[in-house]
Amino acid sequence: MAHMVSPAGDMEVSITKVGAAKGQMFIEGQIGVWDSQIYFERKEISHLIGLAMKPSVLWFVISLPFVRLGQKLSRKKKQEQS
Return per-residue pLDDT of the chain as tens, 82 residues: 899 999 989 999 999 999 999 999 999 999 988 999 999 999 999 999 999 999 999 999 999 999 999 999 998 888 888 7
How many domains is the chain built from?
2
Q: What is the DSSP letter of 19?
A: E
The predicted pLDDT at position 77 comes to: 83
Domain that holds residue 62: 53-82
Q: What is the pLDDT of residue 78?
A: 83
- Residue 43 region, left (φ>0) first, then alpha (ψ -120 to 50), else beta? alpha
pLDDT at 67: 95
- Flag whether 48 is in a domain: no
Characterise 32 by phi-psi region: left (phi > 0), alpha (psi -120 to 50), beta (else). left
pTM of the model: 0.68
- Residue at 45 is within a domain: no
From start to end of 22-79, where are the E strands? 24-31, 34-40
Q: Kindly state whether residues 59 and 82 are assigned to the same domain.
A: yes
